[in-house]
């Protein structure tokens, strides 16, 4: 069965109670997992560009939230994991029952290759790794599930045609969907092409940072229903 990941990202707005509500809502929509970004501003190579450092400080998930987030996920009956950007983040997450640890695409994070290698060494087989890749020609990697992640936030549906046609389930485990807010059909196209996991940004209000490419609960509920019955 195809699994659906609700990417909370920074849509919690730095509000812990809102993030807990989003985990419950994602579960209610039928999502298999909720996911968040786990970093510190100093982890991010682009923190000095524009207002990025202030944004990162506002939207980071403090370590002190983690026990309640994972307890909430357990109560809601949904898996919970995170994208990481440092060895520190990996070591902290390994203390919690996250089924996966995700590496964001180097094209978007600009993290040095050494950081990815060190994070992989810290995981050391204790969790499955999911990794985003922009490259259509991704090749199988031992113990790493590759999520095809086309560029653009939001991605333009017309520009995704080549990605859809060249999606190869021998290489690509799933698809990260950054199309506009209420688009669910592009994800279904990738499921028909063989995607086993769909990641889509999720929101519960219009005022969040990633609203332009985040599904509202109605859309996420429909995506989950159609994906799980495909």
DSSP string, 90-144: HHHHTTS--SEEEE--HHHH---HHHHHHHHHHHTTSSEEEEEE--TT---BTTE
Q: Are 134 and 157 in contact (CB under 8 A)?
A: no
CA 3 to chain centre: 12
Question: Nearest-CA neighbor of 35 among 2, 73, 75, 63?
Answer: 73
Please report where in the chains the tokens 């204790």 appear, as a residue: 126
From first to last of its 230 residues, the chain has per-residue pLDDT tens of: 899 999 999 999 999 999 999 999 999 999 999 999 999 999 998 888 889 899 999 999 999 999 999 999 999 999 999 999 999 999 999 999 999 999 988 877 888 989 999 999 999 999 999 999 887 665 656 679 999 999 888 888 888 988 998 899 988 999 999 999 899 999 999 999 999 999 999 999 999 999 999 999 999 999 999 999 98
pTM (2 decimals)? Answer: 0.94
Question: What fold characterizes domain 3-228?
Answer: TIM Barrel (3.20.20)
Cα(106)–Cα(84) distance, integer angstroms: 12
Q: Are 123 and 129 in contact (CB under 8 A)?
A: yes
Name every residue whose Cβ is closer than 8 Å to that of residue 90 and which is 6 or more positions away in sequence: 84, 101, 119, 122, 123
Enumerate the domain spans of the chain.
Answer: 3-228
Q: Is the dihedral of CA 91, 208, 134, 164 positive or negative?
A: positive
């Amino acid at each position: 069965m195809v699994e659906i990941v609700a990417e909370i990202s920074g849509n919690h707005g730095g509000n812990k109670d809102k993030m807990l509500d989003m985990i419950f809502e994602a579960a209610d929509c039928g999502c298999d997992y909720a996911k968040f970004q786990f970093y510190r501003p100093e982890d991010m190579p682009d923190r000095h560009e524009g207002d990025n450092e202030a944004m990162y400080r506002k939207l980071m998930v403090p370590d002190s939230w983690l026990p309640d987030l994972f307890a909430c996920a357990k109560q809601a009956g949904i898996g919970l994991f995170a994208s990481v950007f440092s060895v520190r983040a990996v070591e902290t997450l390994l203390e919690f029952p996250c089924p996966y640890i995700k590496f964001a695409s180097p094209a978007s994070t600009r993290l040095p290759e050494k950081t990815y290698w060190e994070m992989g060494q810290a995981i050391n087989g204790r969790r499955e790794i999911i990794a985003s890749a922009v490259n259509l020609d991704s090749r199988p990697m031992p113990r790493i599930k590759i999520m095809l992640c086309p560029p653009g936030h939001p991605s333009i549906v017309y520009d995704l045609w080549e990605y859809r046609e060249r999606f190869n389930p021998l290489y690509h485990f799933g698809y990260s969907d950054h199309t506009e807010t209420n688009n669910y059909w592009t994800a279904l196209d990738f499921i028909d092409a063989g995607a086993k996991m769909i990641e889509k940004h999720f929101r519960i209000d219009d005022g969040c940072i990633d609203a332009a490419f985040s599904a509202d609960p109605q859309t996420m509920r429909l995506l989950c229903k159609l994906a799980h019955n495909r």
